Amino acid sequence: MNIGLLWFDGGSRNLSQKVARAAKRYRNRFGEAPNVCYVNPNALPNGEEQHIKGVWVRPSPRILQNHFWVGQEAAE
């Protein structure tokens, strides 16, 4: 991912709601929907990636708690 948006959400919402809010902000800012979101591994059950509302949520130890790095990643 070359361009992304770093989003902080320390609220009490669940992970799905937080990812949806970050993705909405990305769409509003860049005019396209993100397809990937990196989160701290502790945010994911068993630290494994999930697919939430059209966005792959992947663990990254570089991401701080309650932060979301959303953007578009090229298809493999």
Task: Give the whole-angstrom CA distance, residue 38 versus residue 28.
Answer: 19
Task: Report the amino acid identity of residue 61.
Answer: P
User: Where is 8: in which H helix or E strand?
Assistant: strand 4-8
Could you report the per-residue pLDDT of 21-62, keeping only the tens digit for each? Answer: 999 999 999 999 999 999 999 999 888 999 998 999 999 999
Which of the four pLDDT bands, split at 50, 70 and 90, describes residue 1?
confident
Q: If you search the block for the tokens 């663990």, which residue do you land on?
A: 59
Which of the four pLDDT bands, split at 50, 70 and 90, describes residue 76?
low
> Residue 6 pairs with which residues in a beta bridge?
69
Q: If you search the block for the tokens 């990812």, which residue do you land on?
A: 19
DSSP state for residue 64 in the 8-state scheme? P
11 or 70: whose pLDDT is higher? 70
Query: pTM for the full model?
Result: 0.91
| pLDDT value at residue 3 | 84
